[in-house]
A and B are shown apart, each in its own frame.
Chain A
Amino acid sequence: MHLPQTLPQTPPQTPPLISLHQVDKRFADGLQALDSVSLSVSAGEFVALLGPSGCGKSTVLRLAAGLESASSGTLSAPALLPGRDSQTACVFQEPTLMPWASVFDNVWLPLRLQGRSRADAATEVRQVLASVGLADFEQAYPAALSGGMKMRASIARALVTRPRVLLMDEPFAALDDITRQKLNTDLLAWWHGRAMAALFVTHSVAEAVFLSQRVLVMAARPGRVVAELAIDQPYPRQPDFRHSPAFALACRQLGAALANAHEAREAIRPAAREPV
């Protein structure tokens, strides 16, 4: 019945697609994975979640995908809306392809689950395969592909439904550095042409800076957002962005934020302990 006490100073141009407000997540075993996490991602925005392993980055992603539910707080995302189509795609750390199916059939899967026949979906599947550079491999089985190509197939599967939200959970962490940098550049091109909201989990500072417009730094035990940094660099970003002073500065700032979060926790820990 009453109006909110404070209105936002600068209203965002588009309402956020994903928004978490003071979300807590406690698992059944009592482990607190997230403590009052708030964040939002708008359409066309690329946000990176940066933090050490075990800080709850993946849990945030699973909440946004509707694969976990929050213990408290409010959460909205297209994946939580009812209906046949979740408008959300996910790329996991592993390529997570079906080993028994060809590249074509793997990419067809999301459309197939919506009831689209092979013939009906073929144009879209071939288009997206061509855009990720796998046009000649549609009949190949995943076992015959390199790690980078498997990840390209996995991303093609994510893009084929033209999702509004793209969630990525350290997708390139297992790849060698050259493949990883190439895929970073390509990913920006695929994202830029589609105006998706992208939420990208990583533990690599350089990857977060190169890809995103905003980096949220998370700390562990319990997982929480401790810092936020905007990367004001226009897209398309070229590989030589990695050698610019702005890139180095952003990396330093994020490195410091990560170190602060770690030290703060170390400082708290002895006091929290019971005397032996």
Chain B
Amino acid sequence: MAVMLGLIAAWELLVRAADIPAYTLPAPSLVAQTLVANFGSLAGSWWVTLKITFGALALACAGGALIAAVFALSPTLERALFPVAVVLQVTPIVAVAPLILIYVESTQAALLLCAWIVAFFPVLSNTVVGLRAADPQLRDLFRLYRATPWQRLRLLRMPAALPYFIAGLKISGGLSLIGAVTAEMVAGAAGRETGLASRILEASFRTETPKMFAALSLLVATGVMIFWLFNALSRWLLGPWHASESARQL
């Protein structure tokens, strides 16, 4: 935190000392002023971006975990469908976004779909690994006590997969924001429902650099917020038992 404040102070000093014009690099104080002055209009766009980001994240979370559970119960389905997930993952989203925008009528839905494609894979692949990661002796124990497949999934494989799922979620959190912004940049969406990406593009056309930075700072805040959120979630869920959280103090 102190390092961050120091960097911002250094930036402010640099801009003032070197007398850099605001259209090249605005000082943090000017960015803050611009943010406050334009908050009314930026907040609407921020809300749009937040909706797409968290919508995609929620779908990635549910979809990734659900598909992983289906794969866990049916290895045949996994062999058949995992390559499809890989294809979705390796295709650059900027390249597919124009297609999706053609096929999907609602721009919002198209943006959501783009962000989801970027975000769901880490959750899926991590959870698939996690569901297989249960201790073999614990699996023997469940066999000895004649657990049903559902009991095995719920009481053994899902808790064992939880640390993997959360690691995937932490990656997906950042990716869903990237996906939402990238898709909107490609869409070049205009009109009433525009997100922060459109505002950055718009400000760039008008060389309103302080406004670009103001919108950018909201994106950064969103990303950091998601990161904190998942760290808190991880500590809450894994803190009492998992090494990744109990080793934090060392």
A interface residues (Cβ-Cβ under 8 A, vs B): 62, 65-67, 79, 84-86, 88-90, 92, 94, 96, 98-101, 109-110, 112-114, 141-143, 161
B135, A96: Cβ atoms closer than 8 Å: yes
B156: Cβ under 8 A from any A Cβ: yes
Q: What is the CB-to-nearest-CB distance from B153 to chain A, in angstroms, rounded to a whole number?
A: 13
Partner of A94, one of B137, B156, B160: B137
B interface majority secondary structure: helix
CB distance from A237 to the nearest CB of B (A): 29
**For residue A100, which residues in chain B have a CB less than 8 angstroms away from its CB?**
159-160, 162, 241-242
A138 to chain B, nearest CB (A): 14
The 4 A-B residue pairs with the shortest CB-CB distance in the complex, in nearest-first order: A96-B137, A100-B159, A113-B145, A99-B241
- Residue on A nearest B246 in the bound complex, by CB: A143
Cα distance, A40 to B183, chains bound together (Å): 70
Closest to A114 in B: B145
| B9 is an interface residue with CB less than 8 A from chain A | no
Q: A86-B146, A98-B159, A100-B159 are in contact. Are A143 and B141 (CB under 8 A)?
A: no
> Which of B138, B144, B156 is within 8 Å of A86, CB to CB?
B144
Are B151 and A98 within 8 A (Cβ)?
no
Q: Interface readout for B130-162 with A: 1 if CB under 8 Å, 0 if not? A: 000001011011111111000100011001101
The count of chain B contact residues (Cβ–Cβ below 8 Å) is 22
Task: Provide the B193-237 mask, 1 if CB < 8 A to any CB of A, else 0.
Answer: 000000000000000000000000000000000000000000000
Known: A96-B135, A112-B155, A141-B241. Is A90-B146 also a contact (CB below 8 A)? Answer: no
**Cα–Cα, bound, A210→B162 (Å):** 43
B residues within 8 A CB of A98? Answer: 138, 155-156, 159
With A96-B138, A100-B162, A100-B241 as contacts: A90 and B144 at CB distance below 8 Å: yes
Closest to B147 in A: A113
CA of A134 to CA of B232 in the docked complex: distance in angstroms? 32
Give bound CA distance, A85 to B137, whole Å: 19
Given contacts A98-B159, A113-B151, contact A86 B145 (CB under 8 A): yes
**CB of B211, distance to nearest CB on chain A (Å):** 48
The distance in angstroms between the C-alpha atoms of A62 and B143, with both chains bound, is 11
Residues of chain A within 8 A (CB-CB) of B147 are: 113
Does A84 contact B241, Cβ atoms closer than 8 Å? no
Asked whether A65 lies within 8 Å of B137 as measured between CB atoms, the reply is: no
Q: Which B residues are in CB contact (< 8 Å) with A114?
A: 145
Query: Is residue B83 within 8 Å, beta carbon to beta carbon, of the partner chain?
Result: no
Q: Is the CB of B155 within 8 A of A65?
A: no
In the complex formed, the residue of A with least CB distance to B141 is A96
A208 to chain B, nearest CB (A): 23
How far, in whole Å, are A141 and B145 apart by their CA atoms in the complex? 22
- CB within 8 Å for A90 and B140 given contacts A100-B241, A113-B145: yes
> Which of A66, A84, A112 is B144 in contact with, Cβ under 8 Å?
A66
A141 to B141, CA, bound (A): 19
How far apart are the CA atoms of A79 and B140 in the complex, in Å? 13
Chain B residues near A89 (CB-CB < 8 A)? 144
Which one of A66, A113, A143, A161 lies within 8 Å of B142 (CB-CB)?
Answer: A113
Among A85, A86, A88, A100, max chain B CB count under 10 A is at: A100
Q: Say whether B146 contacts A67, CB under 8 Å.
A: no
Q: B246: which A residues are within 8 A, CB to CB?
A: 143
Asked whether, in the complex, the Cβ of A142 is within 8 Å of the Cβ of B144, the reply is no
Known interface pairs A94-B137, A96-B135; A79-B144 also in contact (CB < 8 Å): yes
Chain A residue at smallest Cβ distance from B152: A113
Closest to B137 in A: A96
Bound Cα distance from A67 to B246, whole angstroms: 34
In the complex, what distance in Å separates the CA atom of A109 from the CA atom of B142? 9
Among A89, A98, A110, chain B packs the most CB atoms within 10 A around the CB of A98
| Cα separation A101 to B145 with both chains bound (whole Å) | 18
- Give the docked Cα–Cα distance between A192 and B75 (Å): 46
Looking across the interface, which residue of chain B has its beta carbon closest to that of A167? B144
Question: Could you list 17 examples of A-B contacts with CB < 8 Å?
Answer: A62-B140, A66-B144, A67-B140, A89-B144, A90-B141, A90-B144, A96-B135, A96-B141, A98-B156, A101-B241, A109-B155, A110-B145, A113-B142, A113-B146, A113-B151, A113-B155, A161-B145
